[in-house]
Amino acid sequence: MAFKEKISELTASESIISPDCIFTGNLITKGSIKIEGIVNGSISEAKEVFVSKTAKITGDISSEKCIVYGAIKGNILSKNFVEIMSTASIIGDITTQKIMVEEGAGINGMVRVKNQI
């Protein structure tokens, strides 16, 4: 029983791209990821993507939930929810079921809110 619990803990992973890190390539994760540095490539299949104020992403994001404080140049496809904070800058289209945008956030692209994605 304890072994099965450990396996489920390992599959619900969290990853961090630190502020001093530059990652080039496509990221595929089933867990959550926090971006604090620079990512040149797409992020896909993530449970949650957190983009901090210091983050710069050039590439598309596909996730269940996406919270943005930093800069994204690419499209966001989020199955459940996108939260865009006042410090965010997004150049690209956003498709999601629910969205929250704080005053001051920059979005240059189309926003589509659909019942099911």
The total domain count for the chain is 1
Which residue segment(s) compose the domain that 39 sits in?
14-113
Task: Name every residue whose Cβ is closer than 8 Å to that of residue 61 and which is 6 or more positions away in sequence.
Answer: 42, 43, 44, 46, 49, 72, 74, 75, 76, 77, 78
pTM: 0.86
Give the model confidence (pLDDT) of 91-108 as tens digits: 999 999 999 999 999 999
The answer to whether the beta carbons of residues 13 and 30 sit under 8 Å apart is: yes
- Asked if residue 44 belongs to a domain, the reply is yes
How sure is the predictor about 19, in pLDDT bands with cuts at 50, 70 and 90?
Answer: very high
Residue 31: both structure tokens together:
């867990």
- Asked if residue 2 belongs to a domain, the reply is no
- Asked if residue 5 belongs to a domain, the reply is no
- Asked if residue 82 belongs to a domain, the reply is yes
Residue 74: both structure tokens together:
């690419």
- Asked if residue 7 belongs to a domain, the reply is no
Q: Reduced to 3 DSSP states, what percent helix, strand and coil does the chain have, rounded to the nearest 5?
A: 10, 55, 35
Question: Is the pLDDT at 81 greater than 90, yes or no?
Answer: yes
- Asked if residue 3 belongs to a domain, the reply is no
- Asked if residue 105 belongs to a domain, the reply is yes
The answer to whether the beta carbons of residues 69 and 86 sit under 8 Å apart is: no
- Asked if residue 8 belongs to a domain, the reply is no
Rounded to whole angstroms, the Cα distance separating 32 from 86 reads 22
